[in-house]
Structure 1
Amino acid sequence: MRTIFLFVAAFFTALGSYAADPNPIDNKRVLDAFENEFYGATDVAWYPDGQGFIAKFSLAQSKVKAHFDGDGNLIATIRYVGDDQLPLCVSTRLAKKYPSHHIANVVELVNGGVTSYVITLENERHWTILRSSSHASFTQVQKLVKQ
């Protein structure tokens, strides 16, 4: 019984160390960079990340994660977007190449000024996960069979 208690206590202690800090971080460069980059962001939560910080927030009705280094440089962003926000060349190529699928989920990744998308397609038998450049070149990441 004591072992279970110690395990549970250690689990919640570890979980707490990864929880979001509702208070702003103590790094003026990162906070200033965030305010300049994402003016109007709401529901901001900060997480420490080894060499920097991650901000999770809402902006213009999108859920966003932004990764900053300790000097306030924006490293990458992850944004959950609707299929209507895909570049036209990507959405038209998807419709042509996967006519029996519909778009279930889209995540936009921006890293080093390069934008890519992780797109989950669905039909009656499969989920297909693709990575796409903004120029509509696709790479299949995974294909899952529905049970």
Structure 2
Amino acid sequence: MRRLLLACALIVSALPAFAVQPDEILKDPALEARARALSIELRCLVCQSQSIDDSDATIARDLRILVRERLEAGDTDEQVKAFLVDRYGEYVLLKPRFTWHTALLWGAPPALLILGGGLAFGLFRRRRSAPATGLTRDEEARVEALLARDD
């Protein structure tokens, strides 16, 4: 029984702790849900790949408050994102938009996958068509002569 309780405690402690403080939460549940959805999509500027919803950093708290203020002012989700991108750059988005300057970011993984697959296929095909022994005709004749002599 103790082991089960210990295992449950470890599992619960391993779950992500959301950094949103009670004083940040909006009274309107619909606005709060929108703010949380936006917070999940926005990157903390000091925590490499952590959303502002998960980060305990001071700047993440400031960004969460800013998002909520913009929503209370009547901005749409896209207006809030556009405001933050104008202010902090494309880096603030966890999933960058597909534009001409992010095309390499989006196109590189599939291109590398296709290139790697083509190289692997070519190497496999070349290895398959190569002679099994790797001997020249003269060497093969000498081996056959030696084997025939032993019989």
- Tell me the TM-score normalized by structure 1: 0.31
- Considering Cα pairs closer than 8 Å and 6+ residues apart, tell me whether 1 or 2 has the greater RCO: 2
Larger % of helix: which?
2
Structure possessing the higher radius of gyration over alpha carbons:
2
- Tell me the TM-score normalized by structure 2: 0.30
